[in-house]
């Protein structure tokens, strides 16, 4: 069923980009549920980030910018944040975001769930503190592999495995960044909660642990004769979990999709 999900999701992308009318799939789950693309670089927000968060726009703050990109994941906010990602303006970022909140202007995108992890503080203050901590650790001048950057990002309290890997994916696809030519560019991936659940669906296990992830994701790649980036396959496992939950009625997607008639 995973191979079906990959083929159907990619076919929908092609039909939609070619300007074909809805529905782009006969599958009711695909018609009503939002899924990211098979290849992460095809996603709308990722395309925006790639065009706007560059060395020309951010210079030495590029790596910090990629952390911000995935914390907020919403281009209008990222456009506003762009000028605050330097040591001289970071202390005024929270005020700017609070002004947006007062005006009831959307701040965060819907693709990633960002919370305060139970801490009694505002979501804005929490996100700004994440960026301030990231600012002390980045740019990472000694990292040359995706794994090294991932480990560096995991030092930051509040950035988990999923978010750290998303930042790594952005960096390795940024023109001029050292990770473009990393030895583990194709092989690196790291688990998030959704991809672990996706692996459990695929292998018909009750649960998959992070320790089991490398072996099981490699097994999926072998089954599919996967030749792309392992991070794309990890992303597919996350979306596959969503598909299976909606299909079986055991869960639902928080983001609806208007892909039907």
159 lies in a domain?
Answer: no
Number of domains in the chain: 2
Tokens of 218: 């490699």
Residues 136 and 208 in one domain: no
- Judged against a pLDDT cut of 90, whether residue 61 lies above it is answered with yes
39 lies in a domain?
Answer: no
Residues 199 and 128 in one domain: no
Give the mean model confidence (pLDDT) for residues 219-239. Answer: 97
List the domain range (segments joined by +) for residue 205: 2-32+189-248
Q: pTM here?
A: 0.93
- What is the per-residue pLDDT for 52? 97
Tokens of 210: 């992070």
In terms of C-beta density within 10 A (0-12 exposed, 13-18 middle, 19 or more buried), how is residue 148 classed? middle
Please write the tens of the pLDDT for every residue from 76-96: 999 999 999 988 898 999 999
Contacts of 139 (CB under 8 A, 6+ apart): 60, 62, 63, 64
- Among 144, 179, 205, residue at a domain's last position: 144
Please write the tens of the pLDDT for every residue from 130-145: 999 999 999 999 999 9
Residues 73 and 113 in one domain: yes
User: Picking from 172-181, 204-213, 247-256, which range would have the lowest pLDDT averaged per residue?
Assistant: 247-256
Tokens of 14: 């092609």
157 lies in a domain?
Answer: no
- Judged against a pLDDT cut of 80, whether residue 177 lies above it is answered with yes
Residues 137 and 78 in one domain: yes
153 lies in a domain?
Answer: no
Cα gap 35→20, rounded to integer Å? 18
Give the mean model confidence (pLDDT) for residues 113-129. Answer: 86
In terms of C-beta density within 10 A (0-12 exposed, 13-18 middle, 19 or more buried), how is residue 197 classed? buried
- Judged against a pLDDT cut of 80, whether residue 113 lies above it is answered with no
Please write the tens of the pLDDT for every residue from 184-223: 999 999 999 999 999 999 999 999 999 999 999 999 999 9
174 lies in a domain?
Answer: no
Tokens of 197: 């659940």
- What is the per-residue pLDDT for 4? 98
Whether the Cβ atoms of residue 10 and residue 240 lie closer than 8 Å to each other: no
């Amino acid at each position: 069923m995973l191979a079906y999900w990959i083929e159907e999701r990619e076919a929908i992308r092609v039909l939609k980009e070619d300007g074909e009318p809805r529905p782009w799939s006969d599958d009711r789950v695909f018609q009503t549920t939002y899924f990211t693309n098979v290849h992460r670089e095809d996603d709308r927000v990722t395309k925006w980030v790639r065009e706007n968060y560059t060395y020309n726009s951010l210079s030495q703050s590029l790596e910090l910018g990629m952390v911000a990109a995935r914390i907020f994941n919403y281009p209008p906010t990222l456009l506003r944040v762009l000028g605050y990602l330097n040591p001289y303006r970071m202390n005024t970022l929270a005020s700017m975001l609070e002004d947006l909140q007062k005006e009831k202007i959307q701040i965060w995108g819907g693709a990633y769930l960002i919370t305060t992890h139970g801490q009694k503080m505002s979501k804005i203050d929490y996100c700004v503190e994440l960026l301030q901590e990231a600012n002390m650790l980045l740019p990472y001048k000694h990292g040359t592999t995706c794994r090294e950057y991932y480990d560096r990002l995991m030092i930051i309290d509040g950035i988990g495995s999923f978010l750290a890997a998303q930042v790594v994916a952005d960096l390795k696809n940024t023109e001029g960044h050292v990770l473009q030519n990393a030895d583990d560019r194709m092989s690196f991936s790291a688990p998030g909660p959704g991809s672990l659940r996706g692996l459990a669906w695929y292998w018909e296990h009750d649960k998959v642990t992070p320790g089991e992830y490398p072996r099981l994701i490699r097994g999926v790649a072998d089954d599919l004769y996967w030749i792309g980036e392992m991070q794309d396959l990890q992303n597919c496992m996350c979306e596959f979990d969503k598909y299976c939950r909606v299909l079986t009625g055991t869960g639902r997607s928080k983001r609806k999709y208007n892909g039907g008639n």
